[in-house]
Chain A
Amino acid sequence: MNIFKKTILTVLVSLLLICNVYADKVRIGTEGAYPPWNDTDASGKLVGFEIELGYELCKIMEHQCTFVPQDWDGMIPALLMRKFDVIMAGMSITPERQKTITFSQGYATEPATLAVMKGSSLESMDTPGSINLNRKGNEKILKTITSALAGKTVCVQTATIHQKFLDSGDVGSVNVRAYKTQDEVNLDLTSGRCDVALAAKASFVEYAEASGNAVITVGPNFSGGAFGDGVGVGIRQGGDDAIGKRDAKLLKDFNKAINTARKKGIISKLAIKYFKDDVSM
């Protein structure tokens, strides 16, 4: 009997010891696999635009912050489970996500685009430089894209605005293949398993540069509609209990901090550093 009691006691005590309680630290969830937004370097450290921006915002808010890596497909569930307090993971603000969580104002926006390997038949696709799905009169471009994608395997990262767009039917019924990470999409675009891929433009540019593979972007830059309204900080919807109030305050703090960082030019500076282009907003 004694041994049994002791075991239970030991387990309880050790459970208490390992449950760290963070009262003041803001924990930021990020993927660490979506360069240049966020990435992991060879020493296992999280790096990238959002990592640096996150720490800058925390400095402004005078909060202590720490980044928590989380796989993309579990990002929103993990936020809801309170594994972390906010998301900074290149996550676009979309009405669909807003049903479940809330967003700060956007801090950066960057168009989505199709990409193929050099020599693909899609290379000659003739469309205007950009398309905003919020505006009218896109039928002709969408029709061109629809016929270009017909019968092709189009690869995207799972649970992204890009997958949402292809599933929406705007470009007909497409043969979509969804991967866990953008890295995997890029690999299979190179291997030839994917005929064409859809993602943030910067991730293709970054990949082509880093790998030396002949990945080129084709077609228009997409924005609006399923592509959302820029990338913001994802936060739980506030509520009346202690945590809900804290979340609501966090949202206010982040909005204020983004304003300050924008005015000081911090966001633009970081955007140019990582994207070689001012994608701040």
Chain B
Amino acid sequence: MELLAFGKTGWGDELFYATLMTIAVSITAMLIGFFFALIFTPLKLSKYKSLNLIGNFYTTVIRGVPELLVIYLFFFGGSGAIMYVASIFGYFEYIEINAFITGSVAIGIISGAYSTEVFRGAIQSIDKGQFEAAKVLGINKFTQFYKIILPQMLRLAIPNLSNVWQITLKDTSLISVTGLVEIMRQSYIAAGSTRDPLFFYSFAAILYLMLTYISMKIINKLEIKYSRGY
């Protein structure tokens, strides 16, 4: 138990902050994922082949390659790309992108691919008549998507989005390879330093179980709330 003490001698406070970090990265990544999904879902549903291709490329590649590889690629390629863009604008100094943002975006790209699929499925199950009605009323495509389709879609998507959330939450454990100190990284450091991997990895498992349990409870409440009136 003294291994979990708070303060200088134990790992309790470190693991507590690491848990907060896992939660923060998961939420940020989920939101970034939504942002990606909002861009790629319309592409996937577009009637233009070339736009379809872009949308499909994103979801196929990200869902077909191990998360670990996506994270490595983003970690090593991402900063290089940003610095390359900066150099075009004549900026050659060092640009440091905060580890939290790197991690969240990397997980967000993965999470976004799954969200895109969920949104696509939800939109496709919306009554076709709604699209026609909007067309008849002369509402433009953009408004149609954001004001009519999106709100309905979100309700239909909540059960599947809860799966995406679970995937996202667990994928954050892989971000430990980039050095962001979340639950897995902190347990890794603690296990190395104390030479007690069994204890710390088991404790990490308990922390993840706690997070999945609590988030499931919250999502169930949301589901009940949003299905009111149906």
A→B interface (CB under 8 Å): 1, 3-4, 7, 11, 15, 18-23, 27, 32-33, 39-44, 69-71, 74, 77-78, 81-83, 85, 181, 183-184, 186-187, 210-211, 241-243
Q: Are B92 and A39 in contact (CB under 8 A)?
A: no
Partner of A39, one of B79, B181, B193, B195: B193
Q: Quick one: given A70-B179, A81-B79, A82-B83, are A19 and B189 in contact (CB under 8 Å)?
A: no
A33-B189, A42-B14, A243-B92 known; 17 new pairs, CB 8 Å cut-off, are A1-B142, A18-B101, A19-B82, A19-B95, A19-B96, A20-B98, A21-B95, A23-B94, A32-B189, A40-B192, A42-B11, A42-B190, A43-B8, A69-B179, A70-B179, A77-B76, A85-B94
Q: Are B93 and A71 in contact (CB under 8 A)?
A: no
Grouping DSSP codes into helix (H, G, I), strand (E, B) and loop, the A interface class, with mixed when no group exceeds half, is: mixed
CB distance from A140 to the nearest CB of B (A): 37
CA distance A21 to B177 in the complex (A): 24
Q: In the complex, what residue of chain B is closest to A73 when comparing beta carbons?
A: B177
The reply to whether the CB of B121 lies closer than 8 angstroms to some CB of chain A is no
CB distance from B178 to the nearest CB of A (A): 8
Q: Are A71 and B192 in contact (CB under 8 A)?
A: no
CA distance A20 to B10 in the complex (A): 32
Q: In the complex, what residue of chain A is closest to B92 when comparing beta carbons?
A: A242
Query: Between A and B, how many residue pairs show CB distances below 8 Å?
Result: 83
CA distance A27 to B142 in the complex (A): 46
The reply to whether the CB of B97 lies closer than 8 angstroms to some CB of chain A is yes
Give 21 CB contacts A-B under 8 Å.
A3-B146, A15-B101, A18-B97, A19-B82, A23-B93, A27-B96, A42-B190, A43-B8, A43-B14, A44-B14, A44-B186, A44-B189, A70-B179, A71-B179, A74-B75, A74-B177, A78-B76, A82-B83, A83-B79, A181-B192, A187-B197
